[in-house]
Chain A
């Protein structure tokens, strides 16, 4: 049961994930599904991956952005539930004690609730039309294409 006292950990065996430029990009290599979450979502992902309890992440968000704690907690729980549903994270046994999060590291901008963007059909689109022809099969010159530059 997911609660603010939960801590989660990424399912590292299946995932490639990184936070860059304020955005978390997550690829489930087992399913080929791509995920991205920016700003507050990236912050939440980063600290979930760092082993923090959801309650501590919410408190840090509320402090940094000056939003009501209740809203921050609801947003954190909602994103965590999505991450669980997508099997990107798994409950972490033996949740750590309260963790202090350095909120000064968060770039200050207008707060937006986290969104998890999902792209489920990348693998399907790759498989749709294999590129033609391969190099060895190319028997002709282009009609007007100058590819020499």
Chain B
């Protein structure tokens, strides 16, 4: 089967969706699928127009720049290029792996007859609303042959937004490819100096400001505790200023972006992962922590409670409730048995629910079903 894998941005851009996209392409290639990636350039990283990822060709077009330019000729030129690429690739299936502004080019190059389209919804639907059918979001859902949602929260929101697509919409939990370190590592639950970790983009939705505020009270009660924030983003300066204003000194460290190996090592040394999210689709880092037996204290935002089972694999608090966040983290740090029990339960559940091979096999099955339905319709 030949698949056009449409990803708004792609490796080496990072973020949960981009990392999952790259790993999914790798996994599908290993399963023998003929996958070609079409993605947008972005001015933030200079990359070649054509590359390769795990044997899959990667075609990068300046789609986001064309949209930002307001240059109608350039928009038309890029649209023609997308149309030509689709024709040349002659795929059996288009998989739109998450929505972004560049999805407009996919929508506008769907000319009948076209191959069936599978759409994976991440957290977009939790942040964008309906507008009389006049949005990329609604038009993409309306034109999809099948829709996969990465969490139950995303599934509910998608069906509410596009009830006419409900019968074509289903749940497929994302998987995370385990690394050797994740298989072997023991989490840092037994650390003499408890390490709390926040990992991800420094954007408001992640709520890392709330983690810093919560840590200020934890730091008083548990003097050995430390907080590491790994990642970067537009909120970084504000987060650093917030930590400094609370007098947390070197007990809060900003370590910047960390690569895949470093993520495993960091999680291996972590006592508790903190996810004070205001919005979430299905956070991969929570799954990765679970795979490594690290308990999570997170919020009830989006699909987070589907990864973190309250009281079993971690603790859940309401978004924005800094006091409850601090209390929950402190209670876990004071109860090593509970941490170990929850970490073990998280690891076991991660294997069952978020297993990598399960995810790939289900994706491949959905591909086959979608193509078959397309042929018979």
Please list the residues of chain A having a beta carbon within 8 angstroms of any beta carbon in chain B.
16-18, 20-21, 25, 27, 29, 34, 36, 118-122, 124-126, 128-135, 137-149
Contact = CB atoms under 8 A, between A and B. Distances in A.
Nearest to B41: A131
A149 B50 contact: yes
Interface string B226-254: 00000011100000000000000000000
B75 A119 contact: no
B89 interface: no
Contacts, number: 131
Contact of B11 (A25, A122, A131, A142): A142
Given A143-B260, A147-B47, A132 B15 contact: yes
Interface stretch (B133-141, B151-159, B208-216, B316-324): B133-141
A17 to B, nearest CB: 7
B12 A125 contact: no
B48 A130 contact: no
Nearest to B124: A128
Interface string B119-146: 0000010011001001111010000000
A124 B72 CA distance: 20
Contact of B15 (A21, A119, A129, A148): A129
B232 to A, nearest CB: 6
A131 B233 CA distance: 9
B73 A18 contact: yes
A68 B47 CA distance: 54
Interface stretch (B63-71, B295-303, B360-368): B63-71
Interface string B187-212: 00000000000000101000000000
Contacts of B257: 132-133, 137-140
Contacts of A18: 72-73, 76
Contacts of B294: none
B54 interface: yes
A129 B11 CA distance: 15
B44 A133 contact: yes
Interface stretch (B96-104, B167-175, B283-291, B341-349): B96-104
B220 interface: no
A119 B104 contact: yes
B134 A118 contact: yes
B128 A145 contact: no
Contact of A132 (B13, B48, B75): B13
Contacts of A130: 201, 203, 233-234
Contact of B12 (A21, A124, A142, A148): A142
Contacts of B73: 18, 20
A74 to B, nearest CB: 21
Nearest to B262: A140
A125 B136 contact: yes
Contact of B104 (A34, A145, A146): A34
16 contacts: A16-B71, A17-B72, A118-B134, A119-B134, A119-B139, A122-B67, A130-B203, A131-B9, A131-B42, A133-B14, A137-B257, A138-B45, A139-B257, A145-B58, A147-B47, A149-B50
Contacts of A144: 26, 53-54
B64 A119 contact: no
Contacts of B124: 125, 128
B259 A149 contact: no
A144 B26 CA distance: 9
Contacts of A121: 128, 131, 135-137
Query: Which 4 A/B pairs are nearest by Cβ-Cβ distance?
Result: A140-B259, A118-B134, A18-B72, A121-B135
Contacts of A143: 11, 22, 260
Q: Of residues A130, A133, A134, A146, which shows the largest number of chain B Cβ atoms within 10 Å of its Cβ?
A: A133
Contacts of B131: 120-121
A129 B13 CA distance: 11
A131 B18 CA distance: 10
B70 A29 contact: yes
